[in-house]
């Protein structure tokens, strides 16, 4: 059964069989007048036939779209197949002879339909290859930001509670001291008042005794020795009322604090007055298309090819500059961040963020040693934590969050793809190694064994990606650079030029070269895309001591870090 135009696939002529007779060979060509897919043999026969030798037969991908069959309303036995350019109305060929269309120009409707179909497919492809993935990436970024904001807000809330608790403790302490001071004051004053009360109690008892004595004088019947008939001065002398002091109680002046006064004592939330930056939308890449290429597309492809062809290996390697990295003992791995700022790590787990002037911007203590960090397409640093078996992320806000958990596997090396933003992680478990691909934080593929079931990796401690999607892994226990294609199929393994090979850092360049450090021979080896050794790019004769890390920047410069030296050297090797 023949396929309709809408059912014919655009992207894989090898999945479509020839439509001529019972031929079941793969379809490679298409006859536009017959609207028939055909194989190479049937095409040759088609073009030899007198009836069809003048037919336009094109590669299948460049075919014309078959016009849907629709009958003309004015001439029901004819199909609509032309467009009146002046009236912009689809017609049949007989309608073109009608007086209303006299002198008008007409265009083959199939030509217009084909052009518009191609444009429509191109728009669909743009949506599928750029707009939809980009929108989903931004959506994932928003979800991550939401999680990050929640983490930050929880941290601020915790700090607020801690500060309030601290302030409350101080308030309680001050209040306790004041109350203790008041208690002592009260005890002292009450003791004084009790003494004064006793003084007057004694004085009142004295007066009561004196009154009794005077009453005895009045009731006495004796005249001898009666004080009433004797001078009274001595008997009637009354002791004066004791003098006492009236104590003034303390006064308490309440602190007249407002809510604003308390707020000044507490920490503040800083509200940024800068305008929020727009989320970065990746530019649409020129994707390969299976649609019929336009003249403009052919011209653009040619220009790109010409630019790439102008880049080649230099006849010699020259030193461009050197950078002293503060805070590291050596340079085991380098990642290039935004504004040409570097993330450099050493063998002691020090991870330093520095600018090209040698100013240290940030330092993180980690448990990594080899190629355990990379910078993502959005400029964030991610690095492996082999003790906790997670991948952490450092954002532009300098906050550290867990990005990916690797379960039972210990993550060692990591690379962020420049092609699609995927994350490649080299990891180990017991004596096994593997490479895992993550997309937007989700595990999508594990690469562990070759076609024979043998383990590809033992200790993948550096990892990178080539321009064709190959995954290149430096494995210290395999003593090899293991290369698989993007589907995980083993392509080749490079084991050096000597009897022993101790690979360390590995990277690729715009031409697909693979560059790898050989720690034993103190060289940087240069391979082609298929693993063929080309030559030793750097040797000890050129001042290379113990090369440990390599990467190529956007200006095609080679950056090399060495063991026991905290200096990064930049070389020019492409011209």
pLDDT tens for each residue of the chain, 575 residues long: 334 444 444 443 345 788 888 888 888 898 988 888 999 899 999 999 999 988 988 888 778 888 888 999 999 999 999 999 999 999 999 999 999 999 999 998 888 888 888 888 888 888 888 888 889 888 988 888 888 888 888 888 888 888 888 889 888 998 999 899 999 999 999 999 999 999 999 999 999 998 998 888 788 777 777 777 766 556 668 889 999 888 888 888 877 778 877 777 777 776 666 677 777 777 766 444 344 444 444 454 455 445 455 678 887 889 988 888 988 989 999 998 877 789 999 988 999 999 888 888 889 999 998 999 999 988 889 999 999 999 999 876 677 889 899 999 999 999 999 888 899 999 999 889 999 999 988 999 999 998 888 999 999 999 999 999 999 999 999 999 999 998 899 999 999 998 889 999 999 999 999 999 998 889 999 999 999 999 999 998 877 788 999 999 988 999 999 988 889 999 999 98
Q: Is 180 found in the same domain as 96?
A: no
Residue finishing a domain among 227, 243, 265: 265
Q: Is 226 found in the same domain as 145?
A: yes
Q: Do residues 384 and 428 make contact, with C-beta atoms less than 8 angstroms apart?
A: no
Residue 47 contacts by C-beta under 8 Å, 6 or more apart in sequence?
53, 55, 57
**Among 93, 71, 68, 69, which residue's Cα sits nearest to residue 82?**
93
Give the domain CATH number at 82: 3.30.160.60
Q: Do residues 4 and 28 make contact, with C-beta atoms less than 8 angstroms apart?
A: no
Does residue 300 fall inside a structural domain?
no
Q: Is 108 found in the same domain as 119?
A: no
Whole-number Å distance between alpha carbons of 35 and 16: 14
Q: Is 163 found in the same domain as 93?
A: no
Tokens of 374: 């990379």
Please give the angle made by the CA atoms of 43, 44 and 46, to the nearest 5 degrees: 60
Q: Is 98 found in the same domain as 162?
A: no
Give Dmax (Cα) for the chain.
Answer: 184
Q: Is 180 found in the same domain as 102?
A: no
Whole-number Å distance between alpha carbons of 519 and 311: 29
Q: Do residues 513 and 492 make contact, with C-beta atoms less than 8 angstroms apart?
A: no
Does residue 566 fall inside a structural domain?
yes
Q: Is 366 found in the same domain as 455?
A: yes
Burial class of residue 529, CB neighbours in 10 A (0-12, 13-18, 19+): middle
pLDDT digits over 326-336, tens only?
A: 889 899 999 98
Does residue 542 fall inside a structural domain?
yes
Which residues sit opposite 105 in a β-bridge?
none
Q: Which helix (H) or strand (E) holds 40?
A: helix 40-48
Does residue 486 fall inside a structural domain?
yes
Does residue 283 fall inside a structural domain?
no
Whole-number Å distance between alpha carbons of 285 and 126: 9
Give, in order, the Cα–Cα distances in Å from 409 to each of 74, 385, 404, 494, 558.
74, 11, 12, 26, 32
Decide the pairing of beta strands 567-574 and 333-336. Answer: unpaired
Other CB atoms within 10 Å distance of the CB of residue 215: 10
Q: What is the pLDDT of residue 481?
A: 97
pLDDT digits over 187-213, tens only?
A: 999 999 999 999 999 999 999 998 998
If one counts the domains in the chain, the total is 3
Whole-number Å distance between alpha carbons of 343 and 333: 8
Q: Do residues 360 and 354 make contact, with C-beta atoms less than 8 angstroms apart?
A: yes
Give, in order, the Cα–Cα distances in Å from 307 to each of 221, 293, 296, 304.
149, 20, 17, 5
Whole-number Å distance between alpha carbons of 543 and 563: 13
Whole-number Å distance between alpha carbons of 556 and 559: 10
Whole-number Å distance between alpha carbons of 424 and 411: 10
pLDDT digits over 46-80, tens only?
A: 999 999 988 988 888 778 888 888 999 999 999 99
Give the domain CATH number at 446: 2.120.10.30
pLDDT digits over 438-451, tens only?
A: 998 899 999 999 88
Q: Is 332 found in the same domain as 241?
A: no
Tokens of 265: 């004592």
Q: What is the pLDDT of residue 411?
A: 96
Residue finishing a domain among 86, 112, 138: 112
Q: Do residues 373 and 364 make contact, with C-beta atoms less than 8 angstroms apart?
A: no
Whole-number Å distance between alpha carbons of 552 and 464: 11
Whole-number Å distance between alpha carbons of 483 and 470: 7
Q: Is 105 found in the same domain as 38?
A: yes
Q: Is 235 found in the same domain as 205?
A: yes
Residue 291 contacts by C-beta under 8 Å, 6 or more apart in sequence?
10, 61, 118, 121, 122, 125
Q: Is 529 found in the same domain as 430?
A: yes
- The residue segments making up the domain with residue 173 are 113-265
Other CB atoms within 10 Å distance of the CB of residue 500: 10
Does residue 304 fall inside a structural domain?
no
Residue finishing a domain among 250, 265, 280: 265
Q: Is 319 found in the same domain as 380?
A: yes
């Amino acid at each position: 059964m023949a396929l309709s135009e809408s059912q014919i696939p655009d992207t894989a002529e090898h999945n479509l069989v020839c439509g001529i007779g019972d031929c079941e060979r793969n379809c490679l060509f298409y006859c536009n007048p017959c609207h028939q897919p055909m194989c190479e043999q049937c095409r040759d026969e088609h073009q030899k036939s007198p009836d069809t030798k003048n037919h336009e037969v094109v590669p299948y991908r460049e075919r014309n779209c078959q016009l849907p069959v629709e009958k003309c309303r004015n001439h029901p036995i004819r199909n609509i197949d032309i467009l009146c350019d002046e009236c912009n109305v689809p017609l049949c060929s007989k309608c073109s002879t009608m007086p209303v269309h006299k002198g008008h120009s007409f265009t083959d409707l199939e030509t217009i339909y084909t052009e518009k179909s191609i444009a429509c497919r191109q728009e669909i492809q743009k949506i599928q290859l750029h707009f939809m993935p980009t929108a989903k990436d931004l959506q994932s970024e928003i979800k991550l930001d939401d999680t990050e904001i929640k983490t930050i807000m929880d941290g601020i809330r915790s700090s607020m509670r801690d500060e309030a608790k601290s302030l409350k403790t101080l308030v309680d302490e001050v209040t306790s001291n004041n109350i203790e001071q008041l208690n002592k004051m009260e005890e002292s004053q009450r003791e004084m008042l009790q003494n004064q009360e006793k003084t007057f109690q004694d004085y009142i008892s004295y007066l009561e005794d004196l009154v009794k004595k005077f009453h005895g004088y009045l009731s006495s019947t004796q005249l001898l020795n009666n004080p009433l008939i004797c001078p009274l001065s001595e008997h009637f002398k009354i002791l004066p009322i004791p003098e006492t002091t009236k104590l003034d109680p303390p006064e308490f002046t309440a602190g007249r604090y407002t809510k604003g006064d308390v707020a000044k004592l507490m920490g503040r939330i800083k509200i940024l007055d800068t305008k929020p930056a727009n989320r970065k939308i990746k530019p649409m890449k020129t994707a390969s298309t299976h649609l019929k290429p336009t003249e403009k597309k052919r011209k653009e492809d040619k220009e790109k090819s010409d630019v790439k062809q102008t880049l080649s290996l230099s006849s010699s390697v020259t030193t461009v500059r050197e950078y002293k990295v503060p805070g590291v003992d050596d340079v085991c791995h380098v990642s290039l961040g935004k504004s040409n700022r570097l993330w450099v790590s050493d063998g002691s787990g020090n991870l330093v963020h520095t600018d090209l002037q040698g100013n240290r911007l940030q330092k993180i203590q980690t448990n990594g040693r080899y190629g355990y960090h990379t910078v993502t397409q959005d400029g964030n640093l991610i690095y492996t934590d082999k003790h906790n078996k997670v991948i952490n992320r450092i954002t532009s806000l300098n906050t550290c969050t867990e990005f990916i958990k690797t379960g039972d596997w210990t993550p060692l090396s990591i690379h962020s793809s420049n092609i699609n933003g995927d994350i490649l992680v080299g990891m180990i478990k017991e004596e096994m190694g593997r490479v895992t691909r993550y997309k937007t934080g989700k595990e999508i593929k594990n690469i562990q064994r070759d076609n024979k079931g043998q383990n590809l990796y033992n200790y993948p401690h550096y990892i990178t990606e080539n321009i064709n999607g190959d995954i290149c892994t430096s494995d210290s226990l395999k003593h090899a650079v293991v290369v698989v294609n993007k589907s995980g199929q083993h392509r080749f393994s490079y084991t050096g030029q000597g009897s022993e090979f101790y690979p360390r850092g590995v990277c690729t360049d715009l031409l697909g070269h693979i560059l790898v450090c050989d720690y034993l021979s103190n060289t940087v080896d240069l391979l082609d895309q298929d693993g063929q050794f080309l030559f030793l790019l750097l040797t000890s004769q050129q001042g290379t001591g113990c090369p440990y890390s390599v990467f190529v920047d956007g200006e095609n410069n080679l950056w090399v870090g060495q063991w026991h030296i905290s200096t990064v050297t930049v070389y020019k090797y492409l011209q």
